[in-house]
Every structure is written in C-alpha cells, then in structure tokens.
C-alpha cells in the first residue's frame, strides 16, 4: 500500500517557531545620519534573507530594537548584534514565543523612541548595568 505524506496547506513556510526579542543598548560614538541609514539598509537586506522582521530606534545615545522571526535565525542575528562594536551595554529584555508577527511588512524599520516603547513598554526603562 502506498504511503502518502501530508503536506502543510496553510501558514507561511519558515514562520513556525516564531520568537520576538527586544533589547536596548548604548551607542559607543554618535552615528552620522548616513551611518545610521547604512546600518538600517544592511539590516533590511540581511533580515529579508533570514526571514526576520522588526523595528529599531536610535535616540539619545541609545538603541532600542525588536526583532522577530524563526528562533534559529534570531539566535544567529542576535550573536552578530552582540558583537557589533558600534554599541555596548547590550541588555536583552527577553525572548518570547509569538504566534504572529507585529512587523510583518518591515524587514527593519527605523522609528522613534516613543513609537518603539508603544510596542514594548520595557524599552522605555533605564539600561541595566
């Protein structure tokens, strides 16, 4: 008798095992607008290839970011971000499992500090040292 394997008929491939990670960090040196734009452009390109979406803010010497995507991809990106020499005092506010993305249309988007805190109020607090 032939064995038929069932194939998924709904949901997006690569969106199983979704997690979201928020963190804050401090800039080591202020960034020129162009440098910030370049950082975001590269993030958009790499995130698209990793099926990652999210938002970033850069205000008052502080980065806040939320990234979401498959757990393995987030771990890979998080390891890159943690060793990036443009920032320090990198403090994770936690990794959580999510059922759906909040930023499905944005591989990465620069928004202001108030907007990002509206998505995750923990991003408002002081950076723990």
Ligand X SMILES: Cc1cc2nc3c(=O)[nH]c(=O)nc-3n(C[C@H](O)[C@H](O)[C@H](O)COP(=O)(O)O)c2cc1C
Binding site for ligand X (CB under 6 A): 39, 42-43, 46-47, 56, 63, 65, 67, 77, 80-81, 84, 86-87, 108
Q: How far is the CB of 43 from ligand X (least distance, A)?
A: 3
Nearer to ligand X, 45 or 118 (CB): 45
Alpha carbon separation from 32 to 10, 35, 39, 101 (Å, rounded) = 44, 5, 11, 30
Kindly tell me which of 22 and 47 has the beta carbon lying closer to ligand X.
47
Beta carbons of 20 and 96 less than 8 angstroms apart:
yes
The nearest distance, CB 124 to ligand X, in angstroms, is 17
Burial (CB count within 10 angstroms: exposed 0-12, middle 13-18, buried 19+), residue 44? middle
Nearer to ligand X, 9 or 79 (CB): 79
> E strands along 1-129, which residues?
18-27, 53-59, 62-70, 87-97, 109-110
CB of 49 to ligand X, least distance (A): 9
Please, which residue, 15 or 36, has the CB nearer to ligand X? 36
- CA–CA dist 103, 67 (Å, integer): 9
Supply the minimum distance, in Å, between the C-beta of residue 120 and ligand X. 15
Q: What is the biggest distance separating any 2 CA atoms in the chain, rounded to whole angstroms?
A: 68
């Amino acid at each position: 008798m032939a064995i038929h394997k069932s194939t998924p008929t709904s949901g997006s491939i690569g969106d199983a095992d979704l997690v979201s990670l928020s963190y804050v960090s401090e800039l080591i040196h202020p960034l020129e607008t162009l440098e910030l734009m370049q950082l975001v452009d590269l993030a958009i390109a790499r995130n698209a290839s990793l099926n990652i979406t999210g938002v970033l803010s850069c205000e008052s010497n502080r980065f806040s970011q939320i990234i979401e995507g498959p757990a393995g991809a987030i771990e890979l990106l998080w390891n890159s971000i943690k060793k990036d020499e443009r920032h320090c005092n990198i403090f994770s506010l936690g990794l959580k499992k999510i059922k759906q993305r909040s930023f499905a249309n944005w591989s990465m988007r620069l928004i202001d500090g108030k907007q990002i805190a509206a998505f995750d109020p923990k991003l408002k607090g002081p950076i723990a040292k």
